[in-house]
A and B are shown apart, each in its own frame.
Chain A
């Protein structure tokens, strides 16, 4: 809409009006436009920042609460359960059989979670369908051994202090891709404070560049 059109429009419709000068009316119109702009901007920005993640991710609860802190104090460090097999492959989440190295049908404690564990899984001989926060997309190859054994990295560098947690937070699944929110990171802008806040390719590359002098080649992870 041009200014000339605006003027002629105002003249024709508001001659019998309150006699407000054309300039002032223009300013008002512009001011309203600015207000609308600002309101829309703020609403959309806030929606994109706060509402959008809520729409994008669905929340799923773990089969039952898992107390990492309790287990590390009883069983030992991460490798007590998340161990390496003899051939160097990483075992990931322990299978029920590993749990049964310590647990049995007789609960060791009195928590409700252990009761669910025993009744639903131990007695029925069913594997626990844990939702893995740090599961990378299918197209990514990742060797734990290369990082923790060869490069002597600490689990915390990527996984944070999950070993000290007492509750299992809800698993957030990207409705579009089906992958965990932890890969992009909790911060929707993708800003990280700690090395474990994000697990995207750029984060891998950043660390590789820093420690090896090269960000790595495509085929190293995308086989």
Chain B
């Protein structure tokens, strides 16, 4: 017997035939086709499908921005999977913005801080919570023992709410007057109300009922005030036959949506508002009952606006025709329910008191104060009842001392200017001054000069990077917190943020961090922190509304039109304060542009939100600036250009757009983060690196609406 080629042939054919008749072929074909749909082949796809489970909805309140919207979080078993607006919530009634909707991404953000950390050299090392709290308490005790408790300062996002209240409580018990907030619309409203109507007042705007909104740069649909409430008010505007006139150098979404775009030269809004006051006074269009309330400085104010702000003169400054100024002023004064709104962009950037007061003067002149569709002047919401602070001798002495600076900018300047540390220790919570304030280098320099910086933060952001110790706190989905409505919303609503998921990392509620620090300090301070924990404190200090907060999820503190006509003091405007000018000698003016898809405050926009930004704002990793084609000859659309201001220069892409005044360059806020989040950081330029602080004479506010700049092809 011989094995020949024929045998091998038989063997081969037999093997093939055997396999072919067996189920191997059909089975492997089927499995291969299934394999192509699994993550084994596509590792970048979702590595596991969403788990199945019971669907539950939990209600809470979003605190990513001052809007305070009610949210409904859909969960599969214990895992939150979707955030939606909460129906029937008094602020947003089911609406939600893209930041709220993508809020879950903050839970798993790559920049989240997982454990307390201490700075060692240039990097951070993890430490235990016990060590972290005792270390902070030890350093703060040293400051207090030195006899200068005022050298402890604190920076947070807002003045209201119980966590901010706890920080103020701590500072008072410690003996320091140095509590600072980041610039925010609520504090601007209070500053204007205080200047014109007296202490303890604030303003709000009845946008949802007004029939004529004259907005001086307020980005009604760009995230101003309580964004979703503003979207809704704007959405019903056409049905209500209400008008919106937008004064803004750039055709923002709000301006494009308005009935009229009034592209005034940036920085001249105050002049324009006062010129309109002049028209109203000249033509007797004011409400005489309202002007009777103007008890201080009214006659001087009249003569100042009539002589200094004649429309013909102001037309040249603002670039708005005299006839238009007169016409708009007439329309405003003769509208049934007019309201003039201030606060450029989102309202939390630099603002000038002159401008805000001038705009509000329009409201006061036409008399639509405390009336439907107008401005409400009311007492600041006082729903928190903290126990009186028990102060020892050190605390009383320290608290009586002058603040290091009136506003945060001056405090940082004082730190930079002094050879000796004027601030020994700083606590930062829910604020990112190293990113959000003008001239970030100056802020970082001040941070490095302060010997001990504590950051209570969820994310290792630009400010946390400068800290000496970081206490990681819960995100808004993991914590309890009271969230008062703010930013000019016509009702006062306090919402309760509740944990909808167990903490993902070893974090604490910021309130608990503060209480634990307070308890660990010497007896005189610790005596003021007798609450068991933050939840206990929250319940105690909100006792007047706790039932409603815990049962309904919110409490409406006031939703009626305030009664009475408040007195009006225009003596500040009657002094004719100087208008702030942009810093520098270049020919063009760079202005920051607020975009609803980006965030520029304590929290950076999420990965989802960043992805929705148009490529006329961010192209790949480059910021795109808007320039009118008439501004610079020789620049083409999409050219790479070098933008230079007195603060520095940056490479940007050019977007030629007729929707911006010639001579003005618009650059978006909210890009150029540098912390460790590959989805959000290293995209574009931070406009605050290029704009410097300009203090308004007399008020001390940073009023830099922009900065002089030049641009040339790179």
B40 to A178, Cβ gap below 8 A? Answer: yes
The interface of chain A, by Cβ under 8 A from chain B, is 1, 6, 28-30, 32-49, 52, 56, 85, 87, 89, 91-92, 95, 137-139, 174, 176-179, 184, 188-190
Chain B residues, Cβ within 8 Å of A46: 18, 22
Cα-based distance from A161 to B151 in the complex (angstroms) = 77
The smallest C-beta distance from B14 to any residue of chain A, in angstroms, reads 3
Tell me if B8 is interfacial: C-beta within 8 Å of chain A: yes
User: Is B18 within 8 A of A35, CB to CB?
Assistant: no
10 closest cross-chain pairs (CB), A and B = A48-B22, A44-B18, A40-B14, A33-B10, A37-B10, A37-B14, A36-B10, A41-B14, A45-B18, A41-B18
Pick 10 A–B contacts, CB within 8 A, sort by A: A6-B4, A28-B1, A29-B6, A32-B1, A40-B12, A41-B17, A43-B18, A44-B19, A45-B21, A95-B53
Q: Please, which residues of chain A bring their CB within 8 A of the CB of B23?
A: 48-49, 52, 188-190
CB contact between A48 and one of B6, B24, B31 (< 8 Å): that residue: B24
A60 to B450, CA, bound (A): 61
Taking a contact as CB atoms under 8 Å apart, the answer to whether A137 and B26 are in contact is no
CB neighbours (8 Å) of A92 from chain B are 52
Q: How far is the CB of B23 from chain A (nearest CB, A)?
A: 5
- A contact residues around B13 at 8 Å (CB): 37, 40
Asked if residues B19 and A45 are in contact (CB atoms below 8 Å), the reply is: yes
Taking chain A's interface residues, is the majority helix, strand, or loop, or is none over half, making it mixed? helix
Measuring CB to CB, which residues of chain B are less than 8 angstroms from any residue of chain A?
1-19, 21-24, 26-28, 30-32, 34-35, 37-38, 40, 49, 52-55, 77
- When chains A and B are docked, how far (Å) is the Cα of A221 from the Cα of B16? 36
**C-alpha gap A36/B5 in the complex (Å):** 11
The chain B residue with its CB closest to the CB of A5 is B5
Residues of A within 8 A of B27 (CB): 52, 56, 184, 188, 190
Q: Across the interface, do A176 and B35 meet the contact criterion of CB distance under 8 Å?
A: yes
Does B7 contact A36, Cβ atoms closer than 8 Å?
A: yes
Would A42 and B18 count as touching, CB distance under 8 A? Answer: yes
Q: Once the chains bind, are A52 and B11 in contact (CB under 8 Å)?
A: no
Report yes or no: B14 in contact with A44, Cβ–Cβ below 8 A. Answer: yes
Which residue of the partner chain B has the closest CB to A13? B2
Looking at B14, B15, B17, B31, which has the most chain A CB atoms within 10 Å of its CB? B14
A139 touches B4 (CB 8 A): no
> How far is B35's CA from A174's CA once the two chains are assembled, in angstroms?
10
Q: A32-B2, A44-B22, A48-B22 are in contact. Are A37 and B11 (CB under 8 A)?
A: yes
Whether A36 and B1, one on each chain, are in contact in the complex, defined by CB atoms closer than 8 angstroms, is no
**Do B54 and A29 touch (CB < 8 A)?**
no
B49 A138 Cβ-Cβ under 8 A: yes
Cβ A137 vs Cβ B14 within 8 A: no
With A174-B31, A188-B27, A189-B23 known to touch, is A89 a contact of B40 (CB < 8 Å)? Answer: no
With a cutoff of 8 Å between Cβ atoms, the chain A residues found around residue B24 in the complex are: 48, 52
Q: Are B6's CB and A30's CB within 8 A?
A: yes
Q: Contact between A49 and B22 (Cβ–Cβ < 8 Å)?
A: yes
A40-B14, A42-B18, A179-B34 are known contacts; what are 13 more A-B pairs with Cβ within 8 Å? A29-B7, A32-B4, A32-B6, A35-B7, A36-B8, A37-B13, A37-B17, A40-B18, A41-B17, A41-B18, A43-B18, A45-B21, A190-B27
- Docked pose: A117 CA to B16 CA in angstroms: 49
A residues in contact with B2, CB < 8 Å: 28-29, 32
Complex Cα distance, B40 from A174, in Å, reads: 13
Question: In whole Å, how far is B76's beta carbon from the nearest beta carbon of chain A?
Answer: 10
Residues from chain B with Cβ under 8 Å of A178 in the complex: 38, 40
In the complex, the answer to whether A36 meets B37 with C-beta atoms within 8 Å is: no
State in angstroms the CA–CA spacing of A146 and B67 once bound together: 42
Compute how far the CA of A176 lies from the CA of B8 in the bound complex, rounded to whole angstroms. 32
Least CB distance, A60 to chain B, in whole angstroms: 17
Question: What are the residues of chain A within 8 A of B16 when measuring CB–CB?
Answer: 44
- Once the chains are docked, how many angstroms separate the CA of A171 from the CA of B14? 34
Q: Which residues of chain B have C-beta atoms less than 8 A from A189's C-beta?
A: 23
How far apart sit A179 and B18, CA to CA, in the bound complex (Å)? 27
**A89 and B18 in contact, given A33-B7, A138-B37, A177-B35 (Cβ under 8 angstroms):** no
Which of A34, A40, A176 is the one whose CB lies under 8 Å from B31? A176
Set of chain A residues within 8 Å of B4, measured between Cβ atoms = 1, 6, 29, 32
Q: What residue in chain A is nearest B40 (Cβ atoms)?
A: A178
Which A residues lie within 8 Å of B17 (CB)?
37, 40-41, 44
Query: What's the Cα separation between A200 and B11 when bound, in Å?
Result: 35
Closest Cβ of chain A: how far from B181's Cβ, in Å?
A: 44
**B30 close to A184 (CB less than 8 A):** yes
User: Residue A34 contacts which of B5, B10, B32 (CB distance < 8 angstroms)?
Assistant: B10
Using Cβ atoms and an 8 Å threshold, which residues of chain B touch A40? Answer: 10-15, 17-18
Residue of A nearest to B32 (CB): A176
Q: Which residue of the partner chain A has the closest CB to B28? A: A176
Q: Which residues of B contact A1 (CB under 8 A)?
A: 4-6, 9
- On chain B, the residues within 8 Å of A95 by CB distance are 53, 77
Q: Which residues of A sit under 8 angstroms from B34, Cβ to Cβ? A: 137, 176-177, 179
Q: Which residues of A contact B28 (CB under 8 A)?
A: 176
Nearest chain-B residue to A86 (Cβ)? B54
Cβ distance B193 to chain A, nearest Cβ, rounded Å: 48
Cα A89 to Cα B52 with chains together (Å): 10
Report the minimum CB–CB distance from B22 to chain A (whole Å).
2
Which of B19, B38, B77 contacts A138, CB < 8 Å?
B38
Nearest to A42 among chain B residues (CB) is B18
CA distance A35 to B14 in the complex (A): 9
Q: How far is the CA of A138 from the CA of B37 in the complex (A)?
A: 8
User: With A and B bound together, what is the CA distance between A87 and B40 in angstroms?
Assistant: 34
- Determine the chain B residues whose CB is within 8 A of the CB of A32 once the complex forms: 1-4, 6-7, 10
